[in-house]
């Protein structure tokens, strides 16, 4: 064996060794990652090993007739498999018709050359046309995918172009064996690098997939933290609501006793008595305590609301005089109220409280220096970004919202102050008392809205309240005439159920003094027993909503289940909206909120009894 043959043999062994390593690597990556292009890349590599072996054997034998046939078959199959590999890589449809045409053309031409003509340069070049065509189609796929893919796609495109150029140059070097073998070796090395680049692309895609998974994981973690915060806030509000409701119930019972018995005492005293002034001060203090209790309920989202259809710009306009009365003359007040806004579902009294609270807060922020307060209303499209950066928007959806904005040129706030601005009793001014902006937050939550705060130190502050746009058809409240003047002397028997002895005594004194016959019980079960024994004898039922053993609402349902149509008055210190919703379809059911005075109770009782046709017990 001469030195040239030895070199060829060593080259063959070297190349086949590395081809085998690359083939095993491609198979391993495919088994782990499952990318289909790796499978076809491995198959192309196996065919290339066959083709290279055929050519090197031809070089050892000194004849290229055999490599022309066997190696050529390998080359066309290699090109077809590479095209399938690239199609999967670039997510393109595999051109099966083109591949089949190329294989048929090559087979027919090889048979023709072997049978009719001698093997030469021109025949070789023509035979390369199908494989080159398939590779060029694959390169075009890569160029279209290159802008959205990794650097590996560019490498693969360049290597395939180089492979095609070397493939076309080989037939022209047949007369120079040394140069032919060198170029063939280079081309074989290029094919090996192509296989390595396929592994590189799979690694890049794996890294990209890991990055995507890490991004999703971070997103899930952020969402999980957001949900935990939302759950914690909901638990806090729920606990606060239960606490506020319990306090309100007990406070309102005590305040009802104070206001009621004070009113009874006032009626018994002569008009010139000095004691009346003392009693008036007692009643004034009790009413202030009522306001504080209402603020606690509002902050907890349990406040009494009376929704109606209203235009927010018109509401602000009607309050202009009141707003101007709290804004000093040194502060310029600007109102930008949008026209033709859709109506919203809201409680006008509570929304007025929101406006006055914000304006008062703005006046305090400006302090003694001249400044500007700007009130703006309008309609805005709310996106996810705004919801994420706002207060009380965790469970709200994006879309169209009405807004009320109060902006001032005051001292502004730093981020730590903004975070605490809606905490109960929080204020930067030592003289500020009460729940402050925290009661505002409760009102906004009850209206399914949220609050955006924009402020920085020395740059003023802007509070924007967003309310959802809703279709409002009918918010008419069930009302009745004040019947005391028209009822005359019509009286009847009343069943009263309340677990607080002071309230029972107060209501009994009021109603018995007005001529009613009263039966009092201390809980819902006793009331149920009275109703089952002699329910038809009662012209009216007065029930406290919150009683042990059986609530007033449950007693009300029991009354109706027995077919009794006598009017029912439900009494509660809170949960007004819930109680009203339970009786909204019953024209003979009424509600009165604690604390109440003598006139409030008598008006509601006589209103309930105004229609004799509803009350067969008279």
Are 120 and 178 found together in one domain? Answer: yes
Model pLDDT, residue 485: 41
Q: What is the mean pLDDT of the chain?
A: 79
Sheet strands side by side (includes 450-455): 331-336, 371-382, 399-408, 461-468, 450-455
CATH number at residue 376: 3.30.565.10
CA separation for the pair 390, 369 (Å, rounded)? 30
Domain end: 191, 216, 241, which one? Answer: 216
C-alpha distances (whole Å) from 177 to each of 356, 415, 526 are 98, 80, 116
CA separation for the pair 599, 52 (Å, rounded)? 109
C-alpha distances (whole Å) from 450 to each of 325, 511, 582 are 27, 45, 28
**CB neighbour class for 287 (10 Å; exposed up to 12, middle 13-18, buried from 19):** middle
Model pLDDT, residue 314: 92
Are 314 and 455 found together in one domain? Answer: yes
Model pLDDT, residue 70: 67
Model pLDDT, residue 283: 82
Residue 577 — very low, low, confident or very high, per pLDDT cuts 50/70/90?
low
* Token pair of 132 as six digits: 């080159």
Are 285 and 315 found together in one domain? Answer: no
CB of 446 closer than 8 Å to CB of 303: yes
Are 246 and 159 found together in one domain? Answer: no
CB of 355 closer than 8 Å to CB of 316: yes
pLDDT exceeds cutoff 80 at 354: yes
Give the percent of the chain with pLDDT over 90.
15
Residue 483 — very low, low, confident or very high, per pLDDT cuts 50/70/90?
very low
Max mean pLDDT range (168-182, 302-316, 510-524) = 510-524
Are 277 and 150 found together in one domain? Answer: no
What are 370-387's pLDDT values in tens digits? 899 999 999 999 998 898
Are 515 and 592 found together in one domain? Answer: yes
Domain end: 439, 468, 497, which one? Answer: 468
From the list 75, 25, 85, 79, the residue with the least C-alpha distance to 50 is 75
Are 289 and 316 found together in one domain? Answer: no
pLDDT exceeds cutoff 70 at 348: yes
Are 136 and 13 found together in one domain? Answer: yes
Are 245 and 341 found together in one domain? Answer: no
Model pLDDT, residue 336: 93
Question: Residue 603 sits in which domain range?
Answer: 484-614
The answer for residues whose C-beta is within 8 angstroms of residue 12's C-beta and 6 or more apart is 52, 53, 56
pLDDT exceeds cutoff 50 at 1: no
Are 248 and 113 found together in one domain? Answer: no
CA separation for the pair 518, 147 (Å, rounded)? 88
pLDDT exceeds cutoff 50 at 271: yes
pLDDT-wise least confident of 410-424, 450-464, 479-493: 479-493
128-162 burial by CB neighbour count: b if 16+ within 10 A, else e?
bebbbbbbebbbebbeebbeebbebbebbbebbee
Max mean pLDDT range (88-102, 176-190, 553-567) = 553-567
Residue 191 — very low, low, confident or very high, per pLDDT cuts 50/70/90?
confident
CA separation for the pair 141, 37 (Å, rounded)? 14
pLDDT exceeds cutoff 80 at 291: no
Q: Specify whether the backbone of 552 is left (phi greater than 0), alpha (psi in -120 to 50) or beta.
A: alpha
Question: Interhelix angle for 121-145 vs 72-89, to 10°?
Answer: 10
Are 55 and 97 found together in one domain? Answer: yes
What are 40-60's pLDDT values in tens digits? 777 777 777 777 676 666 656
Strand-pair partners of 399 = 382
CB atoms within 10 A of CB 231: 11
CA separation for the pair 444, 390 (Å, rounded)? 12
Are 328 and 426 found together in one domain? Answer: yes
What is the average pLDDT across 178-182? 78
Residue with structure tokens 């922020």? 365
Domain end: 299, 320, 347, which one? Answer: 299
CA separation for the pair 606, 601 (Å, rounded)? 9
Model pLDDT, residue 186: 82
From the list 405, 390, 402, 393, the residue with the least C-alpha distance to 445 is 393
pLDDT exceeds cutoff 70 at 549: yes
Max mean pLDDT range (12-16, 88-92, 282-286, 395-399) = 395-399
C-alpha distances (whole Å) from 366 to each of 133, 249, 328, 370, 372 are 79, 39, 10, 7, 8
Model pLDDT, residue 431: 38
CA separation for the pair 73, 66 (Å, rounded)? 11
What is the average pLDDT across 544-549? 85
What are 249-260's pLDDT values in tens digits? 677 778 888 888
């Amino acid at each position: 064996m001469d030195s040239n043959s030895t070199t060829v043999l060593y080259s063959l062994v070297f190349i086949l060794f590395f081809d085998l390593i690359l083939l095993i690597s491609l198979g391993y990556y495919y088994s782990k990652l499952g990318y289909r292009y790796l499978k076809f890349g491995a198959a192309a590599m196996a065919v290339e090993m066959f083709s290279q072996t055929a050519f090197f054997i031809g070089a050892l034998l000194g004849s290229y007739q055999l490599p022309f046939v066997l190696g050529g078959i390998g080359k066309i199959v290699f090109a077809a498999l590479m095209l399938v590999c690239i199609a999967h890589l670039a997510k393109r449809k595999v051109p099966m018709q083109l591949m089949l045409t190329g294989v048929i053309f090559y087979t027919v031409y090889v048979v023709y050359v072997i049978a009719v003509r001698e093997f030469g340069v021109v025949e070789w070049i023509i035979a390369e046309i199908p494989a080159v065509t398939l590779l060029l189609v694959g390169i075009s796929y890569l160029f279209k995918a290159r802008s959205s893919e990794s650097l590996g796609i560019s490498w693969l495109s360049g290597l395939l172009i180089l492979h095609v150029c070397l493939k076309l140059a080989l037939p022209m070097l047949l007369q120079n064996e040394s140069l032919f073998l060198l170029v063939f070796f280079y081309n074989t090395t290029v094919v090996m690098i192509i296989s390595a680049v396929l592994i590189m692309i799979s690694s890049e895609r794996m890294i990209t997939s890991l990055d995507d998974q890490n991004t999703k994981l971070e997103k899930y973690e952020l969402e999980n933290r957001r949900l935990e915060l939302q759950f914690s806030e909901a638990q806090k509000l729920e606990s606060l609501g239960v606490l506020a409701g319990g306090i309100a119930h007990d406070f309102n019972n005590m305040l009802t006793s104070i206001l009621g018995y004070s009113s009874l005492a006032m009626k018994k005293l002569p008009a010139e008595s000095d004691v009346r002034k003392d009693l008036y001060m007692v009643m004034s203090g009790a009413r202030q305590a009522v306001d504080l209790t209402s603020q606690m309920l509002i902050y907890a989202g349990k406040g009494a609301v009376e929704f109606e259809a209203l235009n927010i710009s018109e509401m602000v306009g009607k309050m202009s005089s009141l707003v101007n009365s709290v804004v000093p003359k040194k502060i310029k007040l600007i109102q930008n109220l949008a026209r033709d806004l859709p109506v919203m579902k809201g409680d006008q009294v509570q929304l007025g409280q929101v406006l006055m609270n914000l304006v008062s807060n703005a006046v305090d922020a400006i302090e003694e220096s001249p400044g500007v307060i700007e009130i703006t209303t309008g309609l805005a499209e709310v996106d996810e970004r705004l919801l994420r950066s706002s207060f009380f928007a965790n469970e709200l959806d994006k879309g169209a919202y009405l807004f009320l904005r109060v902006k001032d040129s005051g001292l502004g706030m730093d981020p730590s102050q903004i975070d605490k601005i809606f905490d109960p009793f929080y204020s930067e001014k030592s003289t500020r008392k009460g729940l402050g902006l925290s009661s505002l937050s409760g009102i906004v939550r009850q209206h399914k809205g949220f609050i955006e705060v924009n402020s920085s130190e020395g740059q003023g502050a802007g509070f924007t309240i967003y309310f959802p746009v809703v279709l409002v058809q009918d918010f008419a409240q069930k009302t009745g005439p004040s019947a005391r003047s028209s009822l005359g002397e019509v009286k009847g028997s009343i069943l009263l159920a309340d677990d607080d002895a002071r309230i029972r005594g107060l209501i009994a004194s009021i109603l018995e003094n007005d001529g009613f016959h009263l039966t009092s019980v201390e809980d819902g079960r006793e009331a149920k027993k009275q109703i089952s024994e002699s329910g038809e004898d009662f012209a009216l039922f007065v029930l406290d909503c919150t009683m042990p053993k059986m609530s007033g609402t449950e007693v009300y349902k029991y009354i109706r289940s027995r077919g009794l149509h006598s009017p029912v008055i439900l009494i509660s210190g809170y949960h007004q909206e819930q109680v009203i919703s339970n009786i909204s379809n019953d024209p003979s059911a009424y509600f009165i909120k604690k604390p109440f005075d003598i006139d409030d109770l008598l008006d509601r009782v006589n209103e309930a009894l105004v229609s004799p046709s509803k009350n067969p017990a008279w």
